[in-house]
Amino acid sequence: MDALKVLKERRSVRKYLSKPVPKEIIEDIIDCGRLAATARNIQPWHFVVITDEERKKHIADITDNGKFIAQAPVCVAVLCEDTKYILEDGSAATQNILLAAKAHGLGSCWIAGHKKPYAAEIEQYLNAPESCKLISLIAIGYAEQESNAAKKDLSAVLHWEQF
């Protein structure tokens, strides 16, 4: 799919078909995540892919607004070494994953991790080292229904030369 079309048409998906996602596609999506921009090229990220039904359900139960992870065929946890630009780097990788999923004809949704009180519980459940912090959880799968969240008009947010 054309890159601009992917950027403009990506929307959060919270309802998925039960159709499984081929492993090669998951790997390619993660490959796009690890190629994201990263401060000082530190690449602090690790990606944990969870497809086991019970493990997805456990993670879904820990979250507040991510219960639909249980129904998504794939959940990706983006974790980063606790470096200065952890949040920027981890977010760049997360966005790459959302866009790569869209390019593969899949839906996805970013589920908050870093600032959530449940972050430590997920880190422990995934057996992450102490130095690695959860940035995001990403549900991925073939879409049954896409969000139609309203977007601000370009004219409301674009400023030329000064605010």
Ligand X SMILES: Cc1cc2nc3c(=O)[nH]c(=O)nc-3n(C[C@H](O)[C@H](O)[C@H](O)COP(=O)(O)O)c2cc1C
Chain residues in the site for ligand X (CB under 6 A): 11-12, 14, 65-66, 109-112, 147, 149
CB nearer to ligand X: pick between 66 and 141: 66
Q: d(Cα 2, Cα 12) in Å, to the nearest integer?
A: 19
> Least CB distance from residue 147 to ligand X, whole Å?
4
CB nearer to ligand X: pick between 132 and 135: 135
CB nearer to ligand X: pick between 23 and 105: 105
Residue written as token pair 């869209």: 102
Structure tokens, 108: 């996805």
Residues 70/17, Cβ–Cβ less than 8 Å: no
Helix (H, G, I), strand (E, B) or coil at 16: strand
Count CB atoms within 10 A of the CB of residue 162.
4
Helix (H, G, I), strand (E, B) or coil at 72: coil
> Least CB distance from residue 85 to ligand X, whole Å?
16
> Least CB distance from residue 11 to ligand X, whole Å?
4
CB nearer to ligand X: pick between 41 and 112: 112
> Least CB distance from residue 162 to ligand X, whole Å?
27
The Cα-based distances of 100 to 37, 48, 82, 95, 158 in angstroms read 15, 16, 25, 9, 26
CB nearer to ligand X: pick between 36 and 109: 109
> Least CB distance from residue 14 to ligand X, whole Å?
6
